[in-house]
Amino acid sequence: MPRYQRPIGTRDIMPEDQPYWYYVRDRARHLAELAGFERIDVPIFEATELFARGVGEGTDIVDKEMYSFTDRGGRQLTLRPEFTAGVVRAYIENGMRVRLQPVKLYTFGPTFRYDRPQRGRYRQFTQFNVEILGEQDPAADLEVMLLAWDLYASLGFRDLAFQLNSTGCPQCKPGYVAVLKEYYAGHEDEICQDCRRRLERSPLRVLDCKAKQCQPIIAGAPHILDHLCTGCAEHFATLREYLDLLDRSYTINHRLVRGLDYYTKTVFEVWAAGIGAQSAVCGGGRYDGLAELLGGPPTPGVGFGSGLERIIMVMKELNVEVPPLPKPSVFLAHLGPEAKREALRLVNALRQADVGAYLAFGERGLKNQLREAGKRGVRYAVILGEDELAAGTATVRDMEAGEQTSVELAWLVEWLKARV
RNA sequence: GUGGGUGUGGCCUAAUGGUUAAGGCACCUGGUUGUGGCCCAGGAGAUUGUGGGUUCGAAUCCCAUCACUCACCCCA
């Protein structure tokens, strides 16, 4: 056992996995920019208070999953458990309300939750995050959902399953909560311990309880969609109409309530197989009250976060191929001190000409150097020895064909550039 | 935070409680002087996660601990 190990729930992303990461980030970036989203980067840590308020006391994230610490100046800070609170903070702090509205932002980065790790869940994970701030049009909800959809589709996901619900707004949510509580009052002794607690702290969460005994109760529970105010009902109906218009199928999920406090109206998740017991690769929704809650001007917002580790896990499950990362296709072998000097000059000239090249280190036999060239997977091995130097040439070996040709040193860079 | 499973060279795997912990992949060297891959030969690499205990004797049994893993809660 090595003396030092990764902290629990963290991972090393090895070179052989990097092609997935490059590809996914590139696709996400491309699609976001196509839709007019601009990149923003916010700090990895923020004031603890921001998340406590923004995400909400009483949520699991705030109650037991935050990586919090006190810095040397006595400030209470927390590694971000999600992006939205920080992005909204940046919107307010940088006075982005004076910009052309809405402001459409995307970002990537590590995110932290102190959870017990399992398949598809890590303490440090990576999110792709998208937000539209300053727009209440259901078309904004649609845009955000389309981006998620198109990203997964372009990454090779099949049978996309969108789960959709509305959680109402401060106008209608309390009324529904009252109805729900009343309904549950009649089943007090049939539900699980956790749900009894949930009824007090965050009543909507009883709806996604997984305990067996609670299932029949949930099945008979009133639907929030039947209790939305006119505004929320219209918003939801319009969003559905738009989704239908664009042929994006979704499932109305009355039990989808999401774990964070700030959601209003639209909530959605994207489910996928292959990520262990978790099902969501993406979760998001509308949060019209969040900016105000954080001390900013009233600003409607909608967005989502998507976990890249889970995306990549699904891609591997589906055997999605990703393009390989570029690497040199030339290897410079040399025999003798004079040849090594020439190799040094050449490797530099090649790279200046934008031709990737490996240099053989040390002083070794040709056999040894060619073996390395083979293992590095290059197309051409350039051999510089006494004979070549005397003739002012290099021997270029095509490693695939096994054929060699003599090329004048003066032309070598050009010769290789034309072929790689 | 709760529960189950698992820890043997870099990776994968073997070893009825009984010699010096075995093999494969990968790695290194060589198979004559300047030619890779295939093949052959050889080499290096492990105080069996750690710490205790039982035993004449422990990779193997027991306890603890750490880690990994799967699941619950919840989420990405």
A105-122 pLDDT tens trace: 999 999 999 999 988 899
- Same structural domain, A134 and A278: yes
Q: In this structure, are A282 and A161 located in the same domain?
A: yes
Among residues A276, A366, A267, A266, the alpha carbon closest in space to that of A317 is found at A276
pLDDT of residue A2: 66
pLDDT greater than 80 at residue A210: no
- Among A221, A223, A222, which Cα is nearest to A236's? A223
**Distance B35 C1' – A411 CA (angstroms):** 23
Q: Does a structural domain hold residue A271?
A: yes
A123 nearest nt, CA–C1': B76
Per-residue pLDDT band at A276 (split at 50, 70, 90): confident
Domain boundary among A285, A317, A349: A317
Structure confidence at residue A1 (pLDDT): 60
Does residue A22 lie in a domain region?
yes
Q: What is the C-alpha radius of gyration for chain A, rounded to an integer number of angstroms?
A: 29
User: Has residue A376 been placed in a domain?
Assistant: yes
Quote the CA–CA distance of A28 and A291 in Å, as a whole number: 26
Q: Could you tell me which residues are beta bridge partners of residue A252?
A: A164
Residue A188 lies in a domain: no
d(CA A108, C1' B76) / Å: 12
CA of A256: nearest nucleotide by C1' is B75
Q: What is the ipTM of this complex?
A: 0.88
Strand partners, A147: none
A180-194 average pLDDT score: 85
Based on the domain organization, do A132 and A265 belong to the same domain?
Answer: yes
How far does the CA of A259 sit from the C1' of B27, in Å? 50
Q: What is the pLDDT of residue A94?
A: 97
Query: Nearest residue (Cα to C1') for B69?
Result: A118
- The yes-or-no verdict on residue A162 having pLDDT over 90 is no
Highest mean pLDDT among A14-18, A211-215, A253-257, A350-354: A350-354
Residue nearest to nucleotide B47 (CA to C1'): A1
Last residue of a domain, one of A317, A344, A375: A317
State whether A27 and A97 are in the same domain.
yes
> What element of type H or E holds A88?
helix A84-93
Q: Is the pLDDT of residue A349 over 80?
A: yes
Q: Indicate the residue type of A146.
A: L
Residue A259, pLDDT score: 67
Q: CATH no. for residue A277?
A: 3.30.930.10
**CATH code: domain of residue A407:** 3.40.50.800
Judged against a pLDDT cut of 70, whether residue A336 lies above it is answered with yes
pLDDT average, residue stretch A326-353: 96
The answer on A373 and A292 residing in a single domain is no
Q: How are beta strands A161-166 and A357-359 bridged, if at all?
A: unpaired
More confident of the two residues A275 and A375: A375
State how far the Cα of A128 lies from the Cα of A131, in Å rounded to an integer: 10
Note the CA–C1' distance, A8 to B49, in angstroms. 15
Domain boundary among the residues A296, A317, A338 is at A317
Secondary structure of A296-330 as H, E, C letters: CCCCCEEEEEEEHHHHHHHHHHCCCCCCCCCCCCE
Distance A1 CA to B19 C1' (A): 27
Residue A338 CA distance to nucleotide B15 C1' (Å): 55
Q: Model confidence at A395, in pLDDT bands (50, 70, 90)?
A: very high
What is the count of structural domains for chain A? 2
pLDDT of A209 over the 90 cut: no
User: Nearest nucleotide (C1') to the CA of residue A307?
Assistant: B76
Query: For position A277, what pLDDT does the model report?
Result: 73
CA torsion angle A98 A99 A101 A106 (round to 10) = -130
Residue A194 is assigned to a structural domain of this protein: no
Question: Which domain range does residue A167 map to?
Answer: 15-172+228-317
Are A149 and A54 in the same domain? yes
Closest nucleotide over all strands to A5 (CA to C1'): B67
Same domain, A334 and A300: no
Q: Please check whether residues A162 and A249 belong to one and the same domain.
A: yes
Supply the mean pLDDT for chain A.
Answer: 92
- Name the token pair of A18: 């990097």
Considering the domain architecture, whether residues A75 and A106 belong to the same structural domain is answered as yes
Burial, A117: exposed, middle or buried (Cβ in 10 Å; 0-12, 13-18, 19+)?
A: middle
Q: Is residue A250 part of a domain?
A: yes
Q: What is the mean pLDDT of residues A156-175?
A: 89
CA atom of A116 to C1′ atom of B23, Å: 37
Provide, in whole angstroms, the distance separating residue A321's CA from nucleotide B65's C1': 43
Structure tokens belonging to residue A195: 């749900």
| A85 and A24 inside one domain | yes
Return d(Cα A201, Cα A196) in angstroms, integer.
9
**Structural domain contains residue A196:** no
Question: Over 90: is that where the pLDDT of A193 sits?
Answer: no
Strand B nucleotides, any atom under 7 Å to a protein CB: 1-3, 9, 27-30, 33-37, 49-50, 67-76
Residues A401, A295, single domain; the answer is no
pLDDT cut 90: percent of chain A above it: 75
Residue A117 shares a structural domain with residue A65 = yes
- Predicted confidence (pLDDT) per residue in A39-80, tens digit: 999 999 999 999 999 988 778 888 889 999 999 999 999 999
Residue A212 lies in a domain: no
Average pLDDT over residues A290-304: 96
The pLDDT of residue A279: 77
State what percent of residues in chain A have pLDDT above 70.
99
Instruction: Look at residue A202 in the predicted model and tell me its pLDDT.
Output: 77
Nucleotide B2's nearest residue (CA vs C1') is A116
Its pTM stands at 0.93
Residue nearest to nucleotide B7 (CA to C1'): A1
